[in-house]
Amino acid sequence: MDIVFATANEGKLVEIKSVLAEFNILSLKDLKTGIEIIEDGATFEENAVKKAQTISRLLNIPVLADDSGLEIDYLDKAPGVYSARYMGEDTSYSVKNSRILNLMKDVPTRQRTARFVCVIAYAKPGSETVTVRAEVEGIIHSRIQGENGFGYDPIFFIPQLNKTTAELSLAEKNEISHRGKALKLMKELLNNEIP
């Protein structure tokens, strides 16, 4: 079964395709709609719903969308919903991550708490849009560490695993991550509850 996932983020897509392996996932790049969705919501929910509904209405088919980001408590939950645009959309993550580490360089471990948040929305023509949310707690690491994943993974450290999420395999990250957990919740909805 084909499922449209309204994302252009390749890092997300790798994780999405791995968890939703029984579906054929089509991304915004596959659809070539050329449409740019302005993510102007104040919450992850608003942005995920807007992305899913915009593409669902345009194509008149069911569509999934993910809005996610990193909340750093010491930075008043920034970058939060602005995670992709933080310090400029075109700034590389090695620069963004280094700058965050620099902003936090004298901050003790107990004040370095952070979480990744993921909201996935499912919009279907003629039905109420549904959302699921999941989070994973961690701390901002003292250095860039790990090669896997994408975005802020090399600075997001999970003390229980003694690793950053950039040191986890795809399967390990999906097991514990905000997106992995949200995708599993959405998969249950798709398989059981949504007519």
Q: Name the residues annotated as catalytic.
A: 67
Residue 8 interacting with ligand ITT (CB under 6 A): yes
Q: Which residues between 13 and 72 bind ligand ITT (CB under 6 A)? A: 39, 66-70
**Which of 44, 8, 189 minimizes the C-alpha distance to 116?**
44
User: Count residues contacting ligand ITT (CB under 6 A)?
Assistant: 20
- In the bound complex, what is the minimum distance in angstroms from residue 188's beta carbon to ligand ITT? 20
N residues, the chain: 195
Our CB check for ligand ITT shows the closer of 108 and 138 to be: 138
**Which of 92, 49, 84 minimizes the C-alpha distance to 68?**
84
Q: Which residues between 100 and 129 bind ligand ITT (CB under 6 A)? A: 116
Return the range that interacts with ligand ITT (CB under 6 A); candidates 52-60, 103-111, 151-159, 184-192. 151-159
Beta-bridge mates of residue 70? 116
- In the bound complex, what is the minimum distance in angstroms from residue 6's beta carbon to ligand ITT? 7
Return the range that interacts with ligand ITT (CB under 6 A); candidates 1-9, 54-62, 101-109, 186-194. 1-9
Residue 151 interacting with ligand ITT (CB under 6 A): yes
- Tell me the C-alpha distance between 152 and 1, whole Å: 32
Residue 12 interacting with ligand ITT (CB under 6 A): yes
Could you say which of 35, 84, 95, 194 contacts ligand ITT (CB under 6 A)?
84
Residue 149 interacting with ligand ITT (CB under 6 A): yes
User: Which residue ranges make up the site for ligand ITT (CB under 6 A)?
Assistant: 7-9, 12, 39, 66-70, 83-84, 116, 149-153, 177, 179
